[in-house]
A and B are shown apart, each in its own frame.
Chain A
Amino acid sequence: MTELMQTILNSLVLSANYILLALGLSLIFGILRVLNFAHGTFYICGAYAVYALAKMAGINYFLATLMAMGVVGGLGILIEAVILFPLAEKVKVASLGAILGVSMVLEGMLSFIFEGEDVTIGSYFKGTVSLMGATLSVERIMVVILCGIIVLGLYLWIRKTRQGIAIRALAENPKVASLQGINTRSIRFLVMGIASCLAAVAGAIVTPLFYINPFMGGSIVFKALLIVAVGGMGSIEGSILAGLLIGFMESIGVTYLGPIAEVASFIVVIAIFLFRPRGLLGVEYEFH
């Protein structure tokens, strides 16, 4: 029982992480039409920012998280202004190459600043709680609740507010949206900023739980990309569903089958691509 409950909690933590990243990627893809390969590096930047502020400068963890969101959000906006916006009119291949370059430069810089060692700030909320006979760590429960609140907030923001409607309009048809007086450029900045903040939060969450190193971004961004693809490009509900699916599959698989289970999750993803190319809940997108 304890093992099962712990596995479920671990799956939720993993899913929460993936969902935060996948939502950002999905937003960026919807508005900027770029597969943001640097998203994993934003996530690691967020994690390192929290590490630097909380562990090295001794600032309160929550304050450090907020500051990391600011730093990484600013970084995202800077990259949009300097690199992605000027390339927006060119072919998609160009922005793909440039964003891969951004991610590599950031990784190199992080490994210079932090000497490339694996770091962690260690458990922040100590203690465990007993639930139905299982002992669970308070920290992981907090993480899941916090992510739930953020995702719910984002969902309501996109569904209910004027800006959210503008974003959805722009994702659906950029030309018509700009004819209606929606400022494409400011929405692009807004989306990039918010998506980067989400990546920073995801990074901040893992710093107390796991060891981080500058080159982790590569594999996690591809997981997030797969989740976006499985859920359907541009669909928030789809990303959440797929995030939970992959998180649970991976966590349960690794617990009961060993590391080979990761292969299984990739194979499921490939199968979904094959039989339902637009994803579980997605609409058909033309991308070139």
Chain B
Amino acid sequence: MNFTKGTSKGIVLIVLILVLMLLPVIFPNPARIGMFISCGVASILAMGWLMILRIGCLSLGQVAFLAIGGYTSALLAQKLGVSPWIGLLGGGVASGLVAFGIGVVFLKVRGLSLSIITFAFAEVVRLVFSTLGFFGGHGGILEIPKFNPLTLPGWGTIQFDSPFSNYYILLMILFLCGIFMWRMDHSALGRTFKSLPQNEDLAESLGVYPLRYKVINFVTACFFAGVAGAFTAHYYGCLYPGSYSVHQSIIVQIQATVGGASSVALGGLLGGFLMVMVESWLLNVDARWVFIFYGSVIIVVTFFLPDGLLSLPQKMKKVLNKT
């Protein structure tokens, strides 16, 4: 058998997809499945963060787009009676539109100033949601409708009332997001993104209009964050503005950095799943460990594995070759 690099990559991918599909079958405990759902949401956010990193922006406000998606979909369902399934798309589109507005205005700013702006934006969003009565104020929104049953011709009716069935909704979003990000990253568009932080002026002189590509990138990442937000709103059935704090945005960054920036889709998936699994185990022990865990992990990773876990195999190879 002649294994080329391409086929081994394909096998890894197929195994990964199968494992993700079978996770709730192997671990049927509902609490476990709930954890996998959190893992998936974290992965989508981390993928978005890594995508935005490609254009040289360290976003500290990803959680804001999760919130916008969630609130949009929840309000659509509660006030207008829109089906949660359409709400998923609605949440994504709302996040994407806001990201478009923000992006057109602010993505001209470079470097750390942009990080501060993304943070300030996230704080504005959180404050608006937690002070305006229309959005439920500090108490948030309760009793958001769950996903309604789907009737498929020939299959009968599928109920979405358990973590088990909701996991597959999330998995669908996760796959869509992963494949989209993967394709985008490996296309000409992805190469343009990577060229921007290296030398924006040079790219501009070669006929690339930076703002356009930055906005495309930003809107894509935020669209999926919005869809994930809409999903969490309908899955948990409630929203609290307090859960979209600064710390959550920092945690997204840590998860993504731990995964590794060499591949947007894989890095986000690895970082999201691994970190949230450890986090939920620690939550059972003592919630205060979570902070110490995230903090020490990012310090260790910065020092010893700056390119994340994805660079680990290459590093190991180097060490083995030396000895």
| Chain A residues near B (Cβ < 8 Å) | 35, 83, 86-87, 90, 92-98, 100-109, 111-112, 116, 215, 218-219, 222, 225-226, 229, 258-260, 262-263, 266-267, 269-270, 273-274, 277, 287-288
Q: Are B120 and A270 in contact (CB under 8 A)?
A: yes
Interface size class of B (residues with CB under 8 A): 35 or more
What would 11 more interface pairs be, CB under 8 Å, given A97-B253, A218-B245, A259-B131? A86-B303, A87-B302, A93-B58, A96-B58, A96-B112, A100-B298, A101-B295, A107-B291, A112-B288, A273-B113, A273-B117
| B13: interface (CB < 8 Å) | no
- The A interface, classified by DSSP as helix, strand, loop or mixed, is helix
| Chain B residues near A (Cβ < 8 Å) | 58, 105-106, 109, 111-113, 115-117, 119-121, 123-124, 127-128, 131-132, 245-247, 250, 253-254, 257, 288-299, 301-303, 306
Provide the bound-state CA to CA distance between A269 and B113, in Å. Answer: 11
> Can you list 15 residue pairs at the A/B interface with Cβ under 8 Å?
A35-B112, A86-B303, A98-B303, A100-B254, A101-B254, A101-B295, A104-B250, A108-B289, A112-B292, A219-B123, A260-B132, A266-B123, A270-B121, A274-B105, A287-B112
Q: Which B residues are in CB contact (< 8 Å) with A35?
A: 112, 115-116
Q: Are A266 and B111 in contact (CB under 8 A)?
A: no
Q: Are B127 and A262 in contact (CB under 8 A)?
A: yes
Q: Are A222 and B296 in contact (CB under 8 A)?
A: no
Q: A94-B306, A105-B296, A108-B290 are in contact. Are A287 and B123 (CB under 8 A)?
A: no
Q: Are B109 and A273 in contact (CB under 8 A)?
A: yes
Taking the nearest CB of chain B, how far is it from the CB of A110, in angstroms?
A: 9
Q: Are A101 and B302 in contact (CB under 8 A)?
A: yes
Q: Are A101 and B296 in contact (CB under 8 A)?
A: yes
Taking the nearest CB of chain B, how far is it from the CB of A65, in angstroms?
A: 27
Write the chain B residue with the least CB distance to A259. B131
Q: Which B residues are in CB contact (< 8 Å) with A222?
A: 116, 119-120, 123, 246
Q: Are A105 and B292 in contact (CB under 8 A)?
A: yes
Q: Which B residues are in CB contact (< 8 Å) with A96?
A: 58, 112, 115
Q: Which A residues are in CB contact (< 8 Å) with B253?
A: 97, 100
Q: A96-B58, A270-B120 are in contact. Are A288 and B295 (CB under 8 A)?
A: no
Taking the nearest CB of chain B, how far is it from the CB of A224, in angstroms?
A: 11
Provide the bound-state CA to CA distance between A194 and B39, in Å. Answer: 42
Q: Are B124 and A218 in contact (CB under 8 A)?
A: no
Q: Are A269 and B292 in contact (CB under 8 A)?
A: no
Q: Which B residues are in CB contact (< 8 Å) with A95?
A: 302
Q: A97-B298, A98-B302 are in contact. Are A105 and B119 (CB under 8 A)?
A: no
Q: Are B247 and A269 in contact (CB under 8 A)?
A: no
Provide the bound-state CA to CA distance between A35 and B294, in Å. Answer: 19
Q: Which A residues are in CB contact (< 8 Å) with B120?
A: 222, 226, 266, 269-270
Provide the bound-state CA to CA distance between A97 and B259, in Å. Answer: 14
Q: Give the residue among A93, A101, A267, A269 with the most B Cβ atoms within 10 A.
A: A101
Provide the bound-state CA to CA distance between A39 and B111, in Å. Answer: 20
Q: Are A101 and B288 in contact (CB under 8 A)?
A: no
Q: Which A residues are in CB contact (< 8 Å) with B289?
A: 108
Taking the nearest CB of chain A, how far is it from the CB of B211, in angstroms?
A: 14
Q: A96-B58, A215-B247, A270-B117 are in contact. Are A104 and B109 (CB under 8 A)?
A: no
Q: Give the residue among B109, B124, B128 with the most A Cβ atoms within 10 A.
A: B124
Q: Which B residues are in CB contact (< 8 Å) with A229?
A: 113, 116
Q: Which A residues are in CB contact (< 8 Å) with B296?
A: 101, 105
Q: Are A101 and B112 in contact (CB under 8 A)?
A: no
Q: Which B residues are in CB contact (< 8 Å) with A288?
A: 111-112
Q: Which B residues are in CB contact (< 8 Å) with A215?
A: 247
Smallest CB-CB A-B distances: 3 pairs: A104-B295, A108-B291, A105-B295
Taking the nearest CB of chain A, how far is it from the CB of B297, in angstroms?
A: 7
Q: Are A101 and B116 in contact (CB under 8 A)?
A: no
Q: Which B residues are in CB contact (< 8 Å) with A86?
A: 303
Write the chain B residue with the least CB distance to A83. B299
Q: Are B290 and A260 in contact (CB under 8 A)?
A: no
